Amino acid sequence: MIKSFKKILYAGTLALSVFALAACSNSGSSSDSSADGSAASADAGSSQQGAQQNTGKKVKIGYVINNLNDTFQTYILEAAQKYADENNIELEVQDSQEDTIKQVDHVNALIEKGVDGLIVVPTDTSSMAPVTEAAQKAGIPLAYVNRNPYAGKEDTIPNNVFYVGSNEKTGGQMQMEYIGEKIGGKGGVVILMGILGNEGTTKRTEGVEEVIKDKYPDVKVLAKESGNWQRDQGVSLTENFITAYGNDLTAVIANNDEMALGAIAALKGANRLNGCLVSAVDATPAGLAAVEAGEMAQTVKQDAKAQGEGALTLAEGFLKGNPPSGDLAIPFTSITADNLAQAK
């Protein structure tokens, strides 16, 4: 049976809340009382612990990450692990090392071990059918985190399969809106893309290109290449761009902070940073430090704190058998030197 897609925006903690409910919630524990966000958070934690005590079983969740070398993904994992530790949930982590076959094998092995639910950061969003099918066959809930295999086809997402993530296109749009204005609506830009096929790569890049087409037609995309989310590849690609385009290069727009930091290193090495703006997505500590140092013009933040608080509020609904009927939209925020304090 197919359900309408209920997109719950990004937070590793929310995924864990969903599975804690699915694995051990008591249908008889639901309540008709309503509460504000603070009460929801408190009730969620206490209800979850009560459910675990009643079943006498510790919830076990399998977390299959795309790559432990992906800096931003480790921040999501850390948030999930912190929540697990605080709520007596066992989290077993497997690293797919950007290998889809390995990822499917990890999922099957975790199911064989009897996990109560799965969290998966897809290595390739176009190749997740075997993962979904395995979870469905096992009858356990599955959350795809940060990368959405069902983007654009939300009506086909099965029961007990969730997406926890952000509106990726919006991030790219915010990047180009800012950079387009700063370069006066004309110039040459290059796009450092993440791993090809990933939703974040595709949608963030689409967002950049849509703003150029609709608002800044005098901006030319000189090149777009995949740096696979990695800083070292951001360095080498940007060195090539500097050689190829010289002073025609006025901005580097990266799908994430790590590649942008690589671009900054290359631009500094060529004494070109002062004439070339750099924009990124994630607002990692290193990215924010680069903004503060005046080296990165902009990073687009995914608000982990707001997402985490929202996740706890939603957890109450899951625990009481009343899943949310719509999205919880935690927006991106454009962070520059002008509002840096907002990100801290």
344 within a domain of the structure (yes/no): no
* Claim to verify: residue 43 and residue 159 sit in the same structural domain: yes
Q: Which range of residues forms the domain containing residue 235?
A: 169-302
User: Which pair of tokens denotes residue 286?
Assistant: 């290193």
* Claim to verify: residue 95 and residue 197 sit in the same structural domain: no
* Claim to verify: residue 236 and residue 312 sit in the same structural domain: no
Question: What CATH number corresponds to the domain at position 129?
Answer: 3.40.50.2300
User: Which pair of tokens denotes residue 167?
Assistant: 């509106």
Q: What is the pLDDT of residue 245?
A: 98
340 within a domain of the structure (yes/no): no
Full-model pTM: 0.72
Which string of DSSP letters, residue by residue, matches 130-161? HHHHHHHHHT--EEEESS-TTTT-GGGPBTTE
What is the rounded distance in angstroms from the CA atom of residue 178 to the CA atom of residue 161? Answer: 35
* Claim to verify: residue 180 and residue 297 sit in the same structural domain: yes
What is the rounded distance in angstroms from the CA atom of residue 257 to the CA atom of residue 71? Answer: 9
2 within a domain of the structure (yes/no): no
Task: Choose among 146, 156, 172: nearest CA to 76.
Answer: 146
Contact 63, 91 (CB under 8 A): yes
* Claim to verify: residue 217 and residue 287 sit in the same structural domain: yes
Rounded to 10°, the helix 285-292/257-269 angle is 40
* Claim to verify: residue 137 and residue 201 sit in the same structural domain: no
* Claim to verify: residue 16 and residue 154 sit in the same structural domain: yes
* Claim to verify: residue 37 and residue 72 sit in the same structural domain: yes
289 within a domain of the structure (yes/no): yes
336 within a domain of the structure (yes/no): no
* Claim to verify: residue 251 and residue 283 sit in the same structural domain: yes
6 within a domain of the structure (yes/no): no
User: Which pair of tokens denotes residue 221?
Assistant: 């995309």
7 within a domain of the structure (yes/no): no
What is the rounded distance in angstroms from the CA atom of residue 95 to the CA atom of residue 65? Answer: 5
Q: Under DSSP, is residue 262 helix (H, G, I), strand (E, B) or coil?
A: helix
323 within a domain of the structure (yes/no): yes
Q: What is the pLDDT of residue 328?
A: 53
Contact 255, 193 (CB under 8 A): yes
Mean pLDDT by 10 residues, the chain (344 residues): 40 52 42 34 39 56 90 84 81 94 98 90 92 93 82 81 83 98 97 91 96 98 96 98 97 97 98 97 94 98 58 40 53 93 81
Domain count, the chain: 2
Whole-number Cα distances in Å, 303 to 17, 153, 202, 257, 343: 18, 26, 21, 15, 8
* Claim to verify: residue 117 and residue 228 sit in the same structural domain: no
